[in-house]
Structure 1
């Protein structure tokens, strides 16, 4: 196994670990946002929006990283 293949395998492992940690983190962000929206009173939605937006953007980046990595793996050859 050459160095390039080892780097590719390491990159795939890093992405899978990011997904294992990132998906629950985004669920926690949505939960905190929901808690703030429910119990935040009149300002609840305003306080919850940054949590919702951050959780959604993080989830998109995490899931998109896997798709981008698999696309590049198919298209790039050394």
Structure 2
């Protein structure tokens, strides 16, 4: 078995940023198309997975605590 010389990596063409933006990828989607699609995806994601703010969390925890307090006092009264 003869030792193969290391494979030469293809030189990446140093495109200017604008040229890279203008060029389309394999699916024929331009940089702008991709950007709009990703933005839409992000919006949808944020709507479906609404992350509660710290204030909301504090309110929820306070409500839970008061509810627990009520059930505990009710149980001890039985």
Bigger proportion of residues as helix: 1
